[in-house]
Structure 1
Amino acid sequence: MKQNPTDPTNFPAGDRRPTTVAGVFRAAARILAANGLYQGDYLPDPFDREMCIPHFLRPMSIVAAVKRAVTGDPHTESLVANEAISVLALRLGDGPQWGDIASLERHVDNWGDTEGRTTESAVAVLYAAADASEQVAA
Structure 2
Amino acid sequence: MAQQLTERPPTSISSLPRIFRAAARILATNGLNQGDFVRDTFDRESTILHAERPMSIVAALSCAVTGDPHTPSAESREAVRVLAHRLVVRSEGPYGEDGLALAFHVDEWGDVEGRTTESAVSVLEAAADACEVSA
TM over 0.5: yes
Bigger drift between 69-78 and 48-57 goes to 48-57
The equivalent of 1:129 in structure 2 is 127
Find the aligned partners of 1:116 and 1:49 in 2 and give their Cα distance: 25
Letter in 2 for 1:114: V
The equivalent of 1:42 in structure 2 is 37
Matched, 1:118 2:116: yes
Q: Which has the larger radius of gyration?
A: 2
Deviation at 1:50, TM superposition (A): 2.1
**CA RMSD across the alignment:** 0.9
Quote the sequence identity (%): 62
Compute the TM-score of the two structures, normalised by the length of structure 2: 0.86
* Per-residue deviation, residues 18-73 of structure 1 (Å, max 9, x unmatched): x7111100000000000000000001111212211110110000000000000000
Q: Which runs of 5+ in 2 are unaligned?
A: 1-13
Compute the TM-score of the two structures, normalised by the length of structure 1: 0.84
Count of residue pairs the alignment pairs up = 119
How do 1:35-114 and structure 2 match up within 5 A?
A: 35-93=30-88, 94-114=92-112
Q: Which consecutive aligned stretches of 4+ in structure 1 deviate over 3 angstroms post-superposition?
A: none
Q: Which runs of 5+ in 1 are unaligned?
A: 1-18
* Per-residue deviation, residues 89-114 of structure 1 (Å, max 9, x unmatched): 00000320100001100000000000
Deviation at 1:115, TM superposition (A): 0.3
